Structure 1
Amino acid sequence: MPKPPSRQNKATSATSNNSTSAASSANKDISQQEDPGSATITVTAVEVPELTEQEQSDRLHLERKVERAFFEAGKALSELRDGLRPAVGDRKLYRSTHKTFEEYCKQRFGYTRIAASYKIAAATVMDNLLTNGLQKEEIATDELQTPKMLTNGLQILPNNERQVRPLVSLEPEVQREAWQKAVEEAGGKVPSGRIVKDVVQRTIERTRVPNTYQLGEVCQILAKDNPELRGKGGCWGIVNHVGEFSCTVTTWDGEYTVRIAHLKPLNYLPAECQQMQLISDRINRLRDNENLEEAARAVLKHLGELKRPYLTAVEEKLLSVIEQEYGVNEGNEPIAHS
């Protein structure tokens, strides 16, 4: 009797046929694929719409507002301190709430005296760059008319205070030259504060003059928008140390180390220098008194700004009265009060 066919063999055969067919199909697919190195990848592009003219205008306007933020801050601080027209006299817009501008800046904005002065000085430098070479255009804003800072060809504007601060110590004409040199070194772009500082330092070294001041000489301080010398412009001082590029001078209210660019020789005769030294000694003995009243301090400040090497009769009497009141005389000996 014939043996029935085995089901197991049928199943194996079917499985074998299916595997062979799948392998054949896979081989066929692989053989039809391109070299992966030359395969084309399809990327769906997302279209970015171009800015409209209005959007371009808005962007430029906002960028300029960011760039001139430090400039506007310095200008505003200057007006708060001096008014819109400084020549007319200080308006002191802070006077209703604060006695001094320094106190006002500290409490209202968190600025120290030096920080506020640097912002004002930086705005002065920016004004110089705008007025002499960089263009200025008036544009309307929501609140006021403000200068729109532009670039003209290769002329690039500073956009933060760090780039401007090193220029403060230079004369206005030299500021413009130094800034353009910094722009060149930055490849025609806005230079960093470090680049500007390096250029300014090289400029100072190139133009520095020898220090000819002598010990005991009387000279006058020139503030020249140097924030650290604010309030000292016009004061005379006695040179007590001569450095390579600066002098330490004794003034009516203390000692200051000042670069020779900020000093002016008064060319007094030796005898006149000795007379001014005596006056300086008398003022200095008084200024250290903790109980010195404002009226007495005002007299000392006046004497510290003299433009002559002597005291008038009235000035001598005033100084003598203050010395007597606070127990000091010209010989630095206490005066006994009855």
Structure 2
Amino acid sequence: MPPILSSLDNSNQHRQAPLHDDISEDSEDVLTTAEAEEFRYLETRVEECLKSFWEIGRALARIRDERLYRENYKTFEEYCMTRWEMSRRSAYQLIDAAVIYKNISENIIDEPDNVAYGRQSIKVLPANERQIRPLVALSPKQQQEAWNEVVSTAPNGKVTAVHVACVVNEYRRKGAVPNKKSNLDNIYIETEQTRSCWNCSYCSKELPENPQSFYCNKLGELSLLEKNGNERGAECQHWNHRNTPADNKSQQPETFNLNVQLPSHLQPLIQDAARASGLIISEWVAKAIQEALLATDVTDVTDLTDN
């Protein structure tokens, strides 16, 4: 019998027959020696399983990049959904988490507060994917700095996903941008004086989940790994500066605000569909509504309005 199952099966016996005779009935919440040992073992197993997220993300990244799914599946998204019942969004969250975990673990800032006390100098690393998720919005260098601050300022020395999000939000509130002195390859944001995609009138202010891409209202989601903003801006025929007078800009369709409350389970489905189409969510929804209206019989709509 596996150790875990054996421990679980024997746990009730430990509670019925405590090993320490001096434990009174008023101390029933105090664990016996065997229970305490079992508790430590099971917590270690839980911690190990939670930390396996980065191994899953790393494996999915290789399957995607090397197209190892191609024999039985047409796309990586189909493979994830059919084989693992995992949405595209969840798969990419795990892949992003693996990249960030590797970045932090290999370049972690070795501060006294960032090292666990004990016989071994074990660096404090994210315990699960939720703790890493907020860091996606930052550059690789900022991820290292932010994580160092997270560990140094964690309440009672306990890192939580909420605390990570608070630190990241503070970085973004201050308008933090990647360090210009650091070597960030193609992942950086240029200033407003630079001819780039980020200050183009078509550049969406919506932040994608993948920090290695951005949204263009004209062309959809674009990868920063292929070309950075400067290169795209110099080559793109649609590029137009945000500060260009309205008369000189390409005409944009008029819009209106529509607040709609939808069931929460639709959110990841809509996000995945929009990303697969290379569109931002608002554009994908507008396109879906337009297609639905075009497919609707005009006479039916007229009858509804008349009634």
Per the normalisation by structure 2, the TM-score is 0.47
- The structure in which a higher percent of residues are strand is 1
Per the normalisation by structure 1, the TM-score is 0.44
Determine which structure has greater relative contact order: mean sequence separation of CA pairs < 8 Å that are 6+ residues apart, divided by chain length. 2
Q: Which has the larger radius of gyration?
A: 1
